[in-house]
Amino acid sequence: MAEISAIILAAGQGKRMKSSLPKVAHAVAGKPMLWHVARAAREAGITEIVFVLGQGREKVLGTAEEFGGKVAFQDRQLGTGDAARCGLSALSSRAKEVVVLCGDAPLISPRTIRALITTRRRRKAVASVLTGILPDPSGYGRVVRNADGTVARIVEERDGGPEIRKIREVNSGTYVFDRKFLRRNLPRLTDVNVQREFYLTDLVVQALQEGKIVVPVVAKNPDEVRGINSRKELAEATEVLRRAKIDALLDAGVTVVAPEWAYIEPEVSVGADSLIGPGVVLLGKTRIGKGVRIQTGCVVENCRVDDGAQLKPYSVLTDSHVRRGAIIGPFAHLRPEADIGEDARIGNFVEVKKSRIGKGSKANHLAYIGDAVVGRKANIGAGTITCNYDGLAKHKTVIGDGVFVGSDTQFIAPVTIGKGAIIGAGTTVTGDVPPYALALSRAEQVVKAGWVIRKMPELLRKSGLKVPSGKEKK
């Protein structure tokens, strides 16, 4: 395929967003609007991308970098025509065709961009324009057609009369141009219109003056032409992508119990026969294997969850790995770099951070495991805490295979427990424990018989107990 360049117009501030962020930095389905447009361009096979950015450009430079794009700076927003001119001067490839995309239209698909490219070639037009038929076209530029179906003019709503407003075919703001035509004609645009802006759309008239044609391509899915100008439209675009993602997962053999009530971002993958319960949120680059069960209210971000694992309700997982058959939750918290081994069990109110838990090990209730390495088939009792932080630095706890940690143990890290050792309940472990040893630290128990009867009889009365007398007093 011949080399093709793209210019993404993204310098507008977007007043209607009422935001200090530039409009294209606002997230749709978890990624900046601009990211979606750049991804579509990349997937359509476009090699060179120029981003035209304006004020606040530092907020979206990351996106431009991610796609290896160049950045052109438009310091005053003089209109889409001026922005395209700005972008054109930054192109360095020798591509003969230039795709112009709007940074605020994130629902465009690679397939549609391809259709726009091939239609222009086939019809030997100087430009092709993506249009859409919308039930409510208000706010968009309208497409006026010639008798032969080619584009005669694009008129902004504000510049047109009632006849124009009646037209339901709108301009998406996405085009493919012959590069030479663009270079020749962009400098000829004027700003004689209501908004005193240089309109890219005026190129249509210039094409006709040169005796050339501009062909329209009507988007099959009108969502693709949606431009985002307000927070409401932002939320609607996210909803379109959310629903599309859920539908794709359903098609791929995933059970989504309540499709209206699960939020799954576009880059997430889920294997067949997995089940996603109501109110589940799957974010970022999360990869879920096959036959995984994710129950109500789980929030999973950038995690790997392998085949057959189970996330019980209300577990929160970030940047972690749950291996085959492990069971997490309910109410578990896996923080970055938790690595839960096969068939391991992390139960309620257990927090794991930057720790590896070996195959078949269990921490079933109320524990904090941080900066630790736990071997296989170890048992971590309720209330166990790795005291990993001394106020200045983090230290490591190493627990060998088959270690049994009694409830309410504190490990004052750094500390290493050899395999097969037992830690008695209530122990504060301050030094290493060799394999197969028992470690125990307990103050001797004191019992004072009858003390409550003598010193606090009111406590017994309050509890409805009879205060014993006589012999029982001892």
d(CA 323, CA 344): 8
In the complex, the smallest distance separating the C-beta of residue 139 from ligand UD1, rounded to whole angstroms, is 7
Q: Quick one: which of 17, 9, 101 has its CA closest to 60? A: 9
Closest residue to Ca ion: CB criterion: 227
| Partner whose binding site includes residue 83, from ligand UD1, Ca ion, none (CB under 5 to 8 Å by kind) | ligand UD1
Residue 318 CB, shortest distance to Ca ion, in Å, is 35
In this chain, which of 69, 103, 358, 406 binds ligand UD1, going by CB under 6 A? Answer: 103
Stretch 140-179 residues interacting with ligand UD1 (CB under 6 A): 140-141, 154, 156, 170-173
Which listed option, Ca ion, ligand UD1, none, makes contact with residue 329 (CB within 5 to 8 Å by class)?
Answer: none
Q: How far is the CB of 227 from Ca ion (least distance, A)?
A: 4
- Return the residue of 29, 38, 78, 298 that touches ligand UD1, per CB under 6 A: 78
Tell me: does residue 137 bind Ca ion (CB under 5 A): no
Long-range contacts of 74-78 (CB under 8 A, 24+ apart): 74/11, 77/11, 77/12, 77/13, 78/191, 78/197, 78/198
Shortest approach of Ca ion to residue 104 CB, angstroms? 5
- Whichever of 22 and 341 has its CB closer to ligand UD1, that residue is 22
User: Shortest Cβ distance from residue 123 to ligand UD1 (Å)?
Assistant: 21
Say how many C-beta atoms besides its own lie within 10 A of residue 147's C-beta.
6
Q: Which of 26, 321, 365, 395 is catalytic?
A: 365
- The reply on whether position 271 binds Ca ion by CB under 5 A is no
Judged by CB under 6 A, the residue of 5, 150, 185, 201 near ligand UD1 is: 201
Residue 129 within binding range of ligand UD1, rule CB under 6 A: no
**Residue 365 annotated to the active site:** yes
By CB under 6 A, how many residues form the interface with ligand UD1? 28
Return the ∠ at Cα 174 (arms to 173 and 179), rounded to 5°: 120
Nearest residue to 64 (alpha-carbon basis) of 7, 114, 4: 7
If binding is defined by CB under 6 A, does position 83 make contact with ligand UD1?
A: yes
- CA proximity to 52, closest of 82, 28, 29: 82
Choose which of 227, 277, 325, 383 interacts with Ca ion (CB under 5 A).
227
Count interface residues toward Ca ion (CB under 5 A): 1
- Nearer to ligand UD1 among residue 227 and residue 347 (C-beta): 227
Among 30, 69, 79, 160, binds ligand UD1 (CB under 6 A): 79
Q: Binding of ligand UD1 at residue 63 (CB under 6 A)? A: no
Per partner kind, with CB cut-offs from 5 to 8 A, the member of Ca ion, ligand UD1, none near residue 99 is none
CB half-sphere exposure, 444, CA atoms < 13 A: 2
406 binds Ca ion (CB under 5 A): no
In the complex, least distance from residue 68 CB atom to ligand UD1, rounded to whole angstroms: 20
What is the C-alpha to C-alpha distance for residues 256 and 13, in angstroms, rounded to an integer?
38
In the complex with ligand UD1, the residue whose CB is nearer, 67 or 199, is 199
Binds 200, which of ligand UD1, Ca ion, none (CB < 5 to 8 A, cut-off by type)? Answer: ligand UD1
User: Should residue 185 be labelled a site residue for ligand UD1 when binding is judged by CB under 6 A?
Assistant: no
One-letter amino acid of 44:
A
Interacting residues with ligand UD1 (CB under 6 A): 9-12, 52, 74, 77-80, 82-83, 102-105, 140-141, 154, 156, 170-173, 199-201, 227
Interacting residues with Ca ion (CB under 5 A): 227
Catalytic residues: 365
